A and B are shown apart, each in its own frame.
Chain A
Amino acid sequence: MNFPPLAAGGPVIPNFGGGSASFACERANHLFCWNWVSSNWSPILWPALRQHVVLTVIAVAIGFAISTGLALLAHRRHWVERPVIAVTAILYTIPSLAMFELLEPLPGLGLSRATAEVALVSYTLLILFRNTLTGLREVPDEVRDAAAGMGMSPRQILVRVELPLALPAIIAGLRIATVTVVALATIAALVCDEGLGVPILTAISNDVFKTELIAAGVLAVALALFADGLLVIVQRLLTPWMRARAA
């Protein structure tokens, strides 16, 4: 498909209204026009950022749910691991451009957020599945033995011992998955009119309007780093014993 329709209210170089000097920066297509950013924050950048966050959160949440379920299954029945790895690895290898396009004609998808979400979710599965399963496996054997010997049922061992000890690996996986999704969601603009990809593509189609491009790009990077940092804090809060280890 061609570039998505212009975002509402987005200025198009060189058709800036009026001949005033106030748009001189934009018309000259300097690297970064602060005026443009401040006046277009609410109509363009902020909605795009918000949509981007929504896209990311939904994708990571669904991916997390699916991969955790699969990892718990693989933890019990070892044969599950190989096929799941094979499928998720293939999904992971498919370049994003191709992935978004291949999903489009499928029934129920088309040009919608659902298509974007399906694609984004598929990129999270390998990482989340691997890390969760590894985290569960790395629980020391003697800890499991002691838990069973004390009379915990398998479910109690899972919930009270294995999952908490697997948290560092699980959250590490979440960090990678989240940052990956934030970056990939810019391509999602191809199939749904949402996210920071929209101003980026718009800017490209407008003779590569640098300010909009850089503004949206920087926002995407900032969002990714922010989410990463947030998850680091979450991990520190949830795993107080890890700090003790370093002490």
Chain B
Amino acid sequence: MHSAGQPTPQTGDSSLPRPHTAQSEGPSAFPQAAELELIHVEKRYPGQRQPAIPDLSLTVPAGEVCVLVGPSGSGKTTAMRLINRMIPLSGGDIRLGGESILKREPTELRKQIGYVIQQIGLFPHQTVSENIATVPRLLGWHSSRIEGRTRELLELTGLDAGEIGARYPAQLSGGQRQRVGVARALAADPPLMLMDEPFGAIDPINRVRLQDEFLRLQAQVRKTVVFVTHDIDEAIKMGDRIAILREGGHLAQYDRPEEILTNPADEFVAQFVGADRALKRLGLSTLAELELLAPNGRQPDENRLPVTATIRDALSAVLSAGGAPLTVVDGDGAVVGLATLELLGGLLKAGEPPER
């Protein structure tokens, strides 16, 4: 799928996908991902006393997902739209791959940035394939190259290239449209992706599915992604780093999810993250990372959990089983070990999730 010369990203034991953790092992080896720097970014609207964003600085390392999260009025969407110059910058600078975005023609810049919005904005008058081919066509790619790329992207996003390619957006379900939107944004292999509440308009069940698929995708393509959401749980799930914005465009904290959950910077962050942040932290790790107890004899059929389950879900299962030990099984159903309340409780006492 990649052109020659790209090392396979390391993600640990690849037979155990970890849908609940973000991808950030090792340096990003994907050349088509660039570092994004916001340097004292300021945005003022004429006629308004307070700036929408007074002074925002953060750096997103290449290949990482940075989630901008906060309540409405926190300026998260504004910040995102400043990056691709959909909104003009009032002050400060933004650098992509070291080069200021102000140096390039906005339309040229945007062709280098993948853009996914909440309502997606698929062109109703074009087929799925034509939609995906939009930026490559604007860039003047060869039609055969475009065709190949389109097929590749459809497969990558889990759509049947033969069937879906010729359909029109009106004939797709919400989830399918969302995936086409992501494929379209990836088409020209941009170094940066901007996503504004891309899964916000989807029902909760499909939203989880789409989130998982995007994380799988990101594990393969390793783009630099700026992801905007108002949902702290989505932020924790999707982000390598999270930037929590307060009303008025102030950066409250910018850190890895574990850090934010363990050490919230202030009262606002603590409240925004939620009183159950210790449990949320446990949602970041799976049973696979634990040293499970050895099974003794035959295990009952109830109370089984896959080894890919999060520690949080395991805790929940143990509690609902009234404290009885959990039987942990692998993908084929074979017993891997036992987990007891004491074992899980030992984690809480230590206060640190295991090393990832």
Contact = CB atoms under 8 A, between A and B. Distances in A.
A and B associate in one complex: yes
A156 interface: yes
Given A142-B120, A244-B168, A245-B170, A150 B125 contact: no
A147 B109 contact: no
B124 A151 contact: no
Nearest to B126: A241
Interface residues of B, number: 30
A95 to B, nearest CB: 40
Interface in A140-164: 140, 142-153, 156, 161, 164
A158 to B, nearest CB: 13
Interface in A159-185: 161, 164-165
A239 interface: yes
Interface string B113-157: 101011111111110000000110010000000000000000000
Nearest to A148: B86
A240 B125 CA distance: 8
Interface in B91-124: 106-113, 115, 117-124
A99 B107 CA distance: 49
Given A152-B107, A244-B171, A147 B121 contact: yes
B117 A156 contact: no
Contact of A149 (B108, B110, B123, B167): B110
Contacts of B28: none
A144 B86 CA distance: 12
Given A150-B134, A151-B138, A247 B171 contact: yes
Contact of A151 (B117, B120, B135): B135
B84 interface: yes
Contact of B115 (A140, A146, A247): A146
Of the four ranges (under 10, 10 to 19, 20 to 34, 35 or more), the interface on chain A belongs to 20 to 34
Contact of B84 (A142, A149, A245): A149
B168 to A, nearest CB: 4
Contacts of B108: 151
A143 B121 contact: yes
Nearest to B187: A150
Given A143-B123, A161-B123, A241-B125, A151 B171 contact: no
B121 A140 contact: yes
Contacts of A140: 119, 121, 124
B125 A151 contact: no
Contacts, number: 75
Contacts of B106: 151
Contacts of A143: 121-124
Nearest to A156: B138
Contact of B121 (A142, A153, A245): A142
Interface in B149-205: 167-168, 170-171, 184, 194
A147 B135 CA distance: 10
Contacts of B113: 149, 151
A69 B107 CA distance: 25
Nearest to A139: B124
Contact of B138 (A142, A148, A152, A245): A152
Interface in A100-152: 140, 142-152
Which of A142, A147, A244, A247 gathers most chain B CB within 10 Å? A244
B86 A150 contact: no
Contacts of B115: 146, 149-150
Interface of A: 140, 142-153, 156, 161, 164-165, 239-241, 244-245, 247
Q: Which 9 A-B pairs have the closest CB atoms?
A: A146-B121, A151-B111, A151-B110, A149-B115, A244-B168, A142-B121, A142-B119, A245-B170, A241-B168
26 contacts: A142-B120, A143-B122, A143-B123, A143-B124, A145-B117, A145-B121, A148-B86, A149-B84, A149-B110, A149-B194, A150-B110, A150-B115, A150-B135, A150-B138, A150-B184, A151-B106, A151-B108, A151-B135, A152-B107, A152-B138, A161-B125, A164-B125, A165-B123, A165-B124, A239-B125, A241-B125
Given A145-B117, A149-B117, A151-B106, 16 more contacts: A140-B119, A143-B121, A145-B86, A146-B115, A146-B117, A149-B194, A150-B135, A151-B113, A151-B135, A153-B107, A156-B138, A161-B123, A165-B125, A244-B168, A245-B124, A247-B171
